[in-house]
Structure 1
Amino acid sequence: MPNDLINTDPLIAQNFFLEIDGSVVTILSGVSGLDVEMEVASTTQVGKDGKQLQVKTLAGRNKAPDLSLTRMAPPDSTQDKMWGWFNDIYSKGILLSDRTNNRKSGSVVMYDSTHVEVARFNFTNGWPSKIATDALSVDSNDPVKETITLTIESLHRVK
C-alpha cells in the first residue's frame, strides 16, 4: 500500500470555539449541524421511447442548517455573552425592518493540540433561538451542560 495516501494527521475534534466578530465568545464541548449542503431539484421527464428519466439539478440555493453548540453552563448567566445575546432577543425580539439587528456572523474554529488553527466554518446572520440546560440530578457529579441552537442563514467551510 503506498504511503503517499496518508501524508497528514487526521483532524481531531478536540479544541474548538465559537467566534463572533473575530473574538472568542465561548468554549465548546460539542458541535453538530456543520452540514454544508446544496438544495436539489428533481424532475421526471419522459423520453421519446416512453421511458421515464429522473433529472436532478442544483435548485439555485444552499441549505442553511441550525447549529447545535454544547458547552459547560456558565456559573453566572448575567455575565455570559451568549446569555446576554439570547436574553436581548428574548425580551426585545428581532426587528423586521433591520436585518442586522441582533443577527451576527461568526465562526466555529478548530485547533490542533499545538493551538494551530486547522479548520474554520463561517456562518452569517446567526442568532441563538434556544438554550437548553441538561437535566439536573443529585446523583450526578457531571458538570451542567447547555445546548445552544444557533439559527443561521449560511455556512461555509473556509479552511
Structure 2
Amino acid sequence: MSKLIKTDPIVARNFYLEIPKYKATVILQSVNSLTVEMQVTSSTQVGQKGIADHAKTVGVSAGLTPEVEMTRMAPQKASEDKIWQWMNRIRNTGFQTRTADRQDMKLHLYDSLNKNIIGQFTLWSAWPFKIVTDGLDSASSEAMKEVITFCCERISRDI
C-alpha cells in the first residue's frame, strides 16, 4: 500500500444537483467547467536603471462570474419540470429585483456506494440561461439529453 496516498480518489460517478428553493434534486450525467478563478491585473514600472518591474494582483473584482454546463436526461414533460419552469419564468418576465429567481445550488458528490457525500460545490446566485436539447436521430436508441447552462456569481468547493 502506498504511503503517499492516504485516501481514495474522488470518483465522479454519483452526483446530484440540489435546488433548495424549488425542492428539486436533479440527476445529472455530466458537469463541465466548475471553474473558480480571479481576475488578475498587472502593472509595469521602469526603475531608475531602466529595468522593468512587473507586478500582478487581484483585479477590480475578486472573482469572475462563471458559467457551468450540466447534462441530464430530458424530462418527459418540460411544463412539469422545475428547471424549465424556472427558465421560462425568467425568459418571460425578466428579473423583478436583484435577487429574484437567483438561487444558491449545491452539487453533491457521493462515494461509490452512493451513501456518503465526499465532495460538494455551491453555485451562488445561479440561474439557468440556456437549455440545449440533443440533436434527434431516428437511428439512435439513446435517451434524449439536455445541456443546461447556469451562470452564477461564484463557485465554492465546500467539501
TM-score normalised to structure 2 length: 0.92
Contact map agreement 2:120 2:158 (CA 8 A) in 1: yes
Q: Is residue 38–residue 58 contact of structure 1 (8 Å, CA) maintained in 2?
A: yes
Q: Please give the alpha-carbon distance, in whole angstroms, between the structure 2 residues aligned to 1:21 and 1:48.
A: 59
Runs of 4+ deviating beyond 3 Å: none
Is 1:140 aligned with 2:140? Answer: yes
% identity of equivalent residues: 39
In the alignment of these two chains, the number of paired residues is: 156
Q: What is the distance in 2 between the residues matched to 1:47 and 1:20?
A: 54
1:24, 1:92 → 2: CA distance?
Answer: 22
Q: How do 1:22-33 residues align onto structure 2 when only pairs under 5 Å count?
A: 23-33=23-33
| Aligned-partner residue type, residue 106 of structure 2 | S
* Greater fraction strand: 1
User: Which residue matches 1:38?
Assistant: 38
| Counterpart residue number, 1:86 | 87
Distance in 2 (CA, whole Å) between partners of 1:63 and 1:54 is: 23
State the Cα deviation string for residues 47-68 of structure 1 (Å, max 9, x = none): 2221112211122511221010
Matches within 5 A, 1:9-158: 9-21=8-20, 23-59=23-59, 60-95=61-96, 98-115=97-114, 116-158=116-158
Q: Measure, in 2, the Cα distance between the counterparts of 1:118 and 1:85.
A: 29
Q: TM-score, normalization: structure 1?
A: 0.92
CA distance in 1, matches of 2:47, 2:24: 56
SS in structure 2 opposite 1:12?
coil
Contact 1:17 1:24 survives alignment (8 Å): no
Q: Deviations over 1:100-143 (max 9, x none)?
A: 21111111111111221011111111110011000001111111
Contact 2:132-2:147 within 8 A present in 1 as well: yes
* Alignment root-mean-square deviation, CA: 1.5
Structure 1 residue 24 displacement after superposition? 4.2
Contact 2:24-2:82 within 8 A present in 1 as well: no
Structure 2 residue identity aligned to 1:14 = R
Unaligned runs of 5+ in 1: none
Q: Amino acid of the residue matched to residue 146 of structure 2?
A: E
Amino acid at match of 1:107: K
The runs of 5 or more residues in structure 2 that have no matched partner are none
